[in-house]
Structures are given as C-alpha cells and as structure tokens.
Chain A
Amino acid sequence: MTIARREYDFQAARKRLEDKAKSAGEKLTTIEEAVARVKNGDHVALGGCLFSRTPLALVRALLRRRPTGLSLSRNLMCYEGEWCMVAGAVDKIVTSWMGIGLPWGLSKIQREYVESGRVPMEEWSHLALGLRYRAAAMGVPFLPSLTMMGSSLVDVGGSKIIDCPYTGEKLLAVPALFPDVALLHVHRADRLGNCQIDGYPHMDADIARAAATVLVTAEEIVSEEEIRLRPDRTVIPGFAVDALVHVPFASYPHECYGLYDAEPDHFSTYVDGINRHGAAGVQAYLDRYVYGPATHGEYLALFGEDTLTEARRRGIELVS
C-alpha cells in the first residue's frame, strides 16, 4: 500500500488554510448546513475515542446526505465505522483498532467488509495515528518516532524508516494526515467557535488543527465572557472552526466526560441485531436511529427521558 500524497502534502494543506477565511465571527449554524460542507471523496476524521465523545450527531447528519467515497479515520473506530460501511459511504477506514470492546467480541461487519475486500482497513498503531494527526497539526510532512518498527504494519502501510541525521539510528517517519474534514464534539464553546473540552482530551485538538474544514457540536453554548474567564480551558481556537452546532447529548449513547455515561446495553442490542441479521441488522438500526428521526429531539425521544436522566446521573457520579 502506498499513502496518497494528499494525506501528507504539507504545502497543499498549508495553502488550503491560507486561502480560507479565518474568521473570529459567528460560527453557529444548523447541523444540516454544517455537514453540507462535506464532499463525496473527502477524508473525514472523527474526534473522541471508541465510545467516548464520539461526534455521533454529526455522523448521523452526514449519513442522512448519503455520501459516497469517503475515507474515515479515527484512533479507535467504534460502530460508527460499521454504519459508514453498511451505508456505502466509505471507500477506506483508517484506524488502529475496530470494535466496541471486549464484551462484544470481533466486529462482524468489519470482518465481512474487510475480508471481502469491499472496504480496505488501513491499520496504524494507536500512537502512529496520533502522530499522523500531530504532524499535520504542526504543519510538517512527518514526525520521527520509535514505534511500529520491525512490525508488519510498516511493510503493509507504506510508511518509511529513515536514518536519524544526528545519531544515525533508525526512526519511523510517521507521515502526516491532513483530513479534509474534522467532525468533533466538545463540552462547551462560545458562538465564535472557541472550544473547551473537559476530561480526557483524546486527539481532538490535533485533529482540529490538521483538518481543512472543522465542524463542531457542543453540549453547551456559553457566552464569550465565560470563555475569556477560563481561556486556559480552550483547546481549539475559534478561527480554526468553520461551523458550530449546539447539540446536547450529541455523543449519546456514547459517553461525554462528566455529563453522561455510555449505554453498554444499547451496544449489546445493536450487536445482537448484527448477530441475527448481519449487515441487515445495521441497516435496520440506521433506519430507526439515523434516517428515521427528523430532529435531534426525535432521536433522543427514542431513548426516553428517564434513560437520559439516568445516563446523566451516572456521568456526573463518575467524576464526583
């Protein structure tokens, strides 16, 4: 496998950024308008990690547009990757690991789509993928690292080993990954797109700097003054954000640190549908949870007020 030049072309990525308005103005918009910026064939990077702070509302809105030919990258890919496979939205998955977690076993959808050659999975180590975003965030074409050498991941992945210009030792030159679009979910932002994240930061801040277009949902929209009172908490500057949407429970039924807990039982029901019906189980899930609800409110109503309140209670308890 060779890595597409556009993934690490730092000069092209820089030009794209220079040519773009970097406004300190209003970023609030609707989720439909936000995802309309994603074009078929784009490389879309997702924030969060596994079932934590996944930008699920943006993924659902994107899938409702029936996109095709996307490359999808995420450090640990949860079942949103399966949705994109079954929806016919992706040509490539880039990740270090795919599944939900130990209790749910191997992803049958990943197996079906990758083993048949329908959707290739490009695998990197967790750190290597993090460094791909980090290199892009730094505006450089690669970063040296001591990881992944000696493994088959180097042989199949197209990454290169270089000699250190100072010590002569071997180093892995981890290529930058400049996504076309970043989909992120954060705890709070002001209407100008200055974003704050609580708890574990995952790789979101790097992804926001790496991508050409940055789409964000926030649990809460706060005043500009509130951001200015705690600027140390801001991890993504407003000028890096293209569109911002206020979506409480945007990651649900995945977790959002300190705000709501994940729903393992919901994951089990989802996997049970796959165990019984294969990809048709995912399709049925998409019909009910992705294509069905006309609004985010209708989506949340599928879970019910009591379930959300309970997830909120557990989420607060886990950080208290």
Chain B
Amino acid sequence: MSASGNGVSANELLAVMGSRELKDNSTVFAGVGAPMLASGLAQRMHAPLLTMVIEGGIVGPRWKPGSLPISTNEMRAAYRAQMLPGITEAFLLAQRGFLDVGFIGGAQIDRHGNLNTTAIGGSYDRPKVRLPGSGGANDIISLCRSVIILTVHEKRRFSDALDFVTSPGWLTGGDARRKSGLLFGGVGRVVTTLGVFGFDAESRHMRLEALHTGVTVDEVKANTGFEVLVSDALTKPPTDEELGILRALDPARQFL
C-alpha cells in the first residue's frame, strides 16, 4: 500500500484514522487488533471520557501497554475493567442503545457496507470456503448507533456481490435496512488502508470521503470490485504523536 511508504503500517493507519472517528463522552464496542488500538489511541488523544465495551462481557478496561489481548475473552482484555457483566449482557447494552460506535472488520464487503464472514462460494451447507462466522459482528452492526468498518483495502475484499450477508450494513441501499427490521444504526464509515469512505444519504452507496496521503483515486478504483463514488479530499497523515502513542501501547508490534 502506498500509504505505508512513509513507515506507517496498515494497522497503524487504520488505528489512527479509526481513532479520529471517535468522540469524547461516548462509548465504543471494540474488538482486538486495529479497533482496540484505535480506541486506546482516542482515549489518549482527544477522548479521555470514551468507554470501551468488549465482546467478552467487559466494560471499561484499561489495557496494559505491551500486554494487549489476542482475544476479546481473555484476562488481558479484562485488565483493570470497571465491570464484567457477561457476554449476553454486553450485547444487550448495545441493544438498549448505550453503544455509540461499534468497530468491525470483515473478509468481504460490498458497496452498501454489508459484510461476509461466513462462507465464500458454493452453498451455506457446502461452501467453497468456510469462514469463522459472525461472532459478535452481526450484533455490533445491528445494535450500535453507528458502525465503523476497519479493513485492508483489497479487490478481493471489496466485492461486487456477497455470497452471504453475515453482518447487514445498508443491505440493498435506500431504506432497505429499516424495512428489514433494523430500526437503528447503520454503517457510518469504512476506514481502509487507502482512504476513508462514507455512504450517500439516499442510495447508501459507498462514497470516498478522503484519500490517504500518496493514494490516488485510480488506485482506489483498481482495488474495489464495485463502482465507488469518489472525492479528491485528503486525510491528514498520522502524526508523530499518534504513532508514538500506538507504538507505546504495542511496543512488540504484535498488532501494528
């Protein structure tokens, strides 16, 4: 990725751009990897009053730098937590409306922000490739007020048609999401290694909001399996302060 040319890794870029989407005095449902780094960075930069909720049934952890979790259900994820209510309870906080933002990733994404982490090719019963499954991704995208998808931008991921909708974004666009029964939320942003994307308010079609430094619109088009609405705006590159905080959180670069 050209954005990585200045020594910034893909996950550092995702974490920095993801963190900037988070507001102070809010809550975020965050998983391991780039989402937790984005949340930890936001808390240290501009959102000290941001609370993390973790899939393992964990509220308000204060993760130990250098000892970041590899699973949302392990002691490192619960380090110095304020509350351990249980898994079902954590998701019910989101169903009640307590979670402002949810972070998720996915193997495949389409123009409406739908995600597939279940099966590629064949049928559900006899897939060509069986992926791990939803985990909490479906719940996060169904129940949080707004979802930010963090992903590496590759053509094989940005797919024209999904074989399976594990996690519903805007479904077929327009008001399809509401009509399906999902009265709340939706995908607000897709943060990739090439740029930051939003969705057209009417069609709910993915739209480039800003490119990362060094990335061209042609590069985005070449790496996207569907037509994407474009823009020439640029994101502000990760700052030394942001990168310094991330690298202090994960000095062994386990996730960076």
B244 to chain A, nearest CB (A): 24
- Would you give the 0/1 interface string for B74-90, flagging 1 where the beta carbon is closer than 8 Å to chain A? 11101100001111100
B193 on interface, CB distance cutoff 8 Å: no
A177 to B220, CA, bound (A): 45
Interface-located stretch among B137-145, B149-157, B205-213: B137-145
Asked if A139 is at the interface of the complex by the 8 Å CB criterion, the answer is no
Asked if B171 lies at the interface with its beta carbon under 8 angstroms from chain A, I say yes
Which A residues lie within 8 Å of B129 (CB)?
111, 115
Contact (Cβ within 8 A) A203 B132 = no
Stretch at the interface among A10-18, A93-101, A290-298: A93-101
CA distance A103 to B73 in the complex (A): 15
Contact B75 A319 (CB under 8 A): yes
User: How many chain-B residues does the 8 Å CB contact rule pick out?
Assistant: 56
Report A95 CB to chain B, min CB distance, Å. Answer: 7
| Complex interface: chain A residues within 8 A of B86 (CB) | 200-203, 205
How far in angstroms is the closest Cβ of chain A from B53?
Answer: 13
Interface contact A146-B55, CB-CB below 8 Å? no
How far in angstroms is the closest Cβ of chain B from A260?
10
Interface residues on chain A, number (Cβ under 8 Å): 65
Closest CB in chain B relative to A264 CB, distance in Å: 7
Q: Specify which of B58, B70, B88, B184 is in contact with A131 (CB 8 Å cutoff).
A: B88
Q: A102-B33, A151-B165 are in contact. Are A49 and B73 (CB under 8 A)?
A: yes
A97-126 CB mask vs B (1 if < 8 Å, else 0) is 111011100110011001111001101111
Greatest chain B CB density within 10 A among A148, A161, A205, A206 is at A148
A127 CA / B132 CA spacing, docked (Å): 16
Assess the A149–B56 pair: CB atoms within 8 A.
no
Q: Are A148 and B138 touching (Cβ within 8 A)?
A: yes
Stretch at the interface among A28-36, A167-175, A275-283: A167-175
- In the complex, per-residue mask of B123-151: 1 if CB is within 8 Å of any chain A CB, else 0: 01111111111111111001100000000
Is A257 on the interface with B (CB-CB < 8 A)? yes
Contacts of B142 in A (CB 8 A): 125, 146-151
Task: Verify B134–A202 contact, CB threshold 8 A.
Answer: no
Assess whether B222 is interfacial by the CB under 8 Å rule: no
A51 touches B125 (CB 8 A): no
> Which of B13-21, B41-49, B174-182 sits within the interface?
B174-182
B78→A199 contact, CB < 8 A = yes
Q: Does B32 contact A (CB under 8 A)?
A: yes
| C-alpha spacing A117/B58, complex, angstroms | 36
Cβ of B252 within 8 Å of any chain A Cβ, yes or no, is no
Q: CB distance A49 to B87 under 8 Å?
A: yes
Contacting pair A150 B171 (CB below 8 A): yes
Residues in A with CB closer than 8 Å to B55 are 126
B118: which A residues are within 8 A, CB to CB?
123, 152-153
Majority SS of interface residues in chain B? loop
Please pick, from A117, A203, A262, A319, the residue contacting B88 in the complex, using a CB distance under 8 A.
A203
A130 touches B75 (CB 8 A): no
When distances are taken between beta carbons in the complex, the residues of chain B under 8 Å from A111 are: 129-130
Q: Which of A50, A51, A123 contacts B133 (CB 8 A)?
A: A123
Interface positions, chain A 261-313, Cβ under 8 Å from B, are: 261-262, 264
Is the beta-carbon distance between B88 and A200 smaller than 8 angstroms? no
A203 to B167, CA, bound (A): 22
> Inter-chain contact count A-B, CB under 8 Å?
185
Is there a chain B Cβ closer than 8 Å to A52's Cβ?
yes
Q: Which B residues lie within 8 Å of A128 (CB)?
A: 138-139
**Is B164 interfacial (CB-CB < 8 Å)?**
yes
A278 to B22 Cα, complex, angstroms: 43
Bitwise, B189-200 to A at CB < 8 A (1) or not (0) is 000000000000
Residue interface mask A52-65, B partner, CB < 8 A = 1:
10000000000000
Q: How far is the CA of A202 from the CA of B74 in the complex (A)?
A: 11
Q: Which residues of A contact B88 (CB under 8 A)?
A: 127, 130-131, 133-134, 203, 206
Looking at A121, A152, A262, the one whose CB has the most chain B CB atoms below 10 A away is A152
Pairs of residues from A and B, 5 with the lowest C-beta to C-beta distance, nearest first: A150-B180, A170-B181, A130-B88, A97-B135, A149-B181
Q: Which A residues touch B135, using CB under 8 A?
A: 76, 96-97, 125-126
> Measured between C-beta atoms, what is the minimum distance from A80 to chain B in Å?
14
A115 to B126, CA, bound (A): 5
- Assembled-state Cα–Cα distance A199/B78 (Å): 8
A75 interface residue, CB < 8 Å from B? yes
Q: Hey, which chain B residues are within 8 Å of A131, CB to CB? A: 88
Between A and B, 10 residue pairs with Cβ closer than 8 Å are A97-B132, A123-B133, A126-B139, A127-B136, A146-B142, A146-B182, A161-B181, A201-B85, A203-B87, A318-B79
Is B57's CB within 8 Å of the partner chain A?
A: yes
Q: Does B158 contact A (CB under 8 A)?
A: no
Beyond A97-B133, A127-B136, whether A257 also contacts B78 by CB under 8 A is yes
Give the residue name and chain of the A residue nearest to B32 (CB).
A102
Asked if A96 and B134 make an inter-chain contact with CB atoms under 8 angstroms apart, the answer reads yes
With a cutoff of 8 Å between Cβ atoms, the chain B residues found around residue A169 in the complex are: 181, 183
Contacts of A203 in B (CB 8 A): 86-88
Best-buried of A76, A128, A145, A319 by chain B (most CB within 10 Å): A76
